[in-house]
Amino acid sequence: MTTTHAPTRAEALSRLARFAPRAGRAYAAGRNHDRPGEGHPAVSGLSPYLRHRLITEEEVLKTVLGRHGPAAAEKFVSEVFWRTYWKGWLERRPSVWTDYRAGVRRALAGMEDEPSLAARVAAAEAGETGIACFDAWAHELRQTGYLHNHARMWTASIWIFTLRLPWEIGADWFLRHLLDGDPASNTLSWRWVAGLQTRGKHYVARAENIARYTDGRFDRRGELDEAPLPLDGPPHPPLGPVPSGDTPRPGLRTGVLLTEEDLSPGFLLAAPGGLADPVASYATLLSVADRSPRGVSAQVDGFSKGAIEDARDRWSERLGTRGPDAETVEEIADWARSVGLEQLVTAYAPVGPAAEALDRLNTRLAGSGTQLVRVMRVADRAAWAYATHGFFRFKSRIPDMIEDMTQSGD
C-alpha cells in the first residue's frame, strides 16, 4: 500500500494527463470507493500538488472541462472548488483558525494532565484501537501521507464519536501527516464532521456505508457509535471582508519570496503594475513545521521541501540571484536588507502558518526600507467573495468562477 507522490510539477502534470480521461462519468461513479490496494484508481491524486500550487486549479479545470464538458465533469469540478470554498470561508472568519489552534494547545495540556487520555490518543494515532477499518486508515495515513476523502470522513467520525477523543487533536494529527494538509480544508472538514461547521449536522460513520464503499473489506457492525449527538460550540464569527492583497510598484529594487502556499509564481511576474523590471534576487521561506506544536511527519517535511526546490529550480533563471532557503523570518529579513531590496513580492498566503510567518516578516521589515508586497490572485479574490454561507450557495456560482479564472490568466 505505497502511494508515491514525487514533489514536482512534472509529476503533477503526468498525474493530470493520466486522470483526465476518467474525470467525467467514471469519476462520478467510482469516487466514493476507498481502494488503497489498487492505488485509489478512481480519484486524481492531485491534491498535494494543488495544495502547494505546483499545478493550479485553472490548469486542472481547463484540462478536464476541455475533455468532458461541464455536465459530465460536474462532480470533479465541485471537488476542486471545495478547497477554494473552504479557503474563502476561513479567510473571511480567521478567528476560527485561531480558536482551533488554541483548542489544540488546551487538548495537549489536557493529555499531560490525564495520562489515560494521552494513551488513548497514542493508540489511535498508532492504529492500535482494535477497530480494524480505523486502524488500517491510521497505518495508511502514516505510511503514505494520504487518505481517500471518504476514509478521512469515516476516520474523523470514529475518532470523535466512537473513540470520543478531542476533535482538535484529530485534526492536528491529520495536518501533521497529510501531504495535502491544508489549514482551511482540514480544520473546517473536521468541524463539519463534528457538527460545528453546519450547526447541529454531523457526519456519522456507519458500518453499512463503510462495508459498501470498501468493497466488503470492513464490516464493523456493533463496534461504532451510530447514534451520537453532534458536538456543541459557539456560533460562527461575523463575516469579514475579502482581503484585497497588494500591488507591486515599478522601478523599485525587487526580490521574490516563494512559500509552500503557491509554487507557480508566474502570475507575480505579470501582476498589475508588476515586475516589468528585472528581479534582483529571490529566496524561499518554509513554514510547514508550524502546522502543529508537535511538528510534522518526515514525509510532509520532505514533500514540502521538495516542492519548493522544484519551483526554485524551474524559476531560478527569471528570479535573479539566489538567496537563502529559510525556515525563519529573521533569515529573510537579513537577506532583504543585505541585498538592498526596496520591495519583497510574494504570493498572498491564506490563513495558516505561512500567513502567520509573513505577518511576522512584515513586522520585522518595518522601518528597514523593504516593503512586503503580498499579491493575491484575481481568481481567488473573486471566488472568496462568494464564500458567505454554505457550499451549495457557493456552488451555484461555479460557472462565474470558471469564467473569472479564464479571464484573469492566473
Give the other-Cβ count within 10 Å of 276's Cβ.
12
Q: Give residue 404's pLDDT.
A: 77
Q: Give residue 270's pLDDT.
A: 75
For cell 502534470, the residue is 13
- The answer for residues whose C-beta is within 8 angstroms of residue 86's C-beta and 6 or more apart is 182, 184, 185, 188, 189
What pLDDT tens digit does each residue of the chain (410 aa) get? 445 789 999 999 999 999 999 999 999 999 999 999 999 999 999 999 999 999 999 999 999 999 999 999 999 999 999 999 999 999 999 999 999 999 999 999 999 999 999 999 999 999 999 999 999 999 999 999 999 999 999 999 999 999 999 999 999 999 999 999 999 999 999 999 999 999 889 999 999 999 999 999 997 677 899 999 999 999 999 999 999 999 999 889 999 999 999 999 999 987 554 565 689 999 999 999 999 999 999 999 999 999 999 999 999 988 999 999 999 999 999 999 999 999 999 999 999 999 999 999 999 999 899 999 999 999 999 999 999 999 999 999 999 999 877 666 66
Q: Give residue 220's pLDDT.
A: 66
Q: Helix, strand or coil for residue 283?
A: strand
Q: Give residue 180's pLDDT.
A: 98
Packed helices 115-125 and 167-177: angle between N→C axes, nearest 10 degrees: 40
Separation of alpha carbons 169 and 189, rounded Å: 14
Q: Give residue 275's pLDDT.
A: 64
Q: Give residue 1's pLDDT.
A: 45
Strand partners, 258: 284
Cell for 337? 536588507
Residue 28: which H helix or E strand, with range? helix 25-30
Q: Give residue 408's pLDDT.
A: 64
Q: Give residue 272's pLDDT.
A: 52
Global pTM value: 0.95
* Chain centroid offset of residue 257 CA: 20
Separation of alpha carbons 12 and 83, rounded Å: 17
Q: Give residue 250's pLDDT.
A: 87
Domains by residue range for the chain, with CATH: 9-91+384-408 (no CATH), 95-213 (1.10.579.10), 254-375 (3.40.50.620)
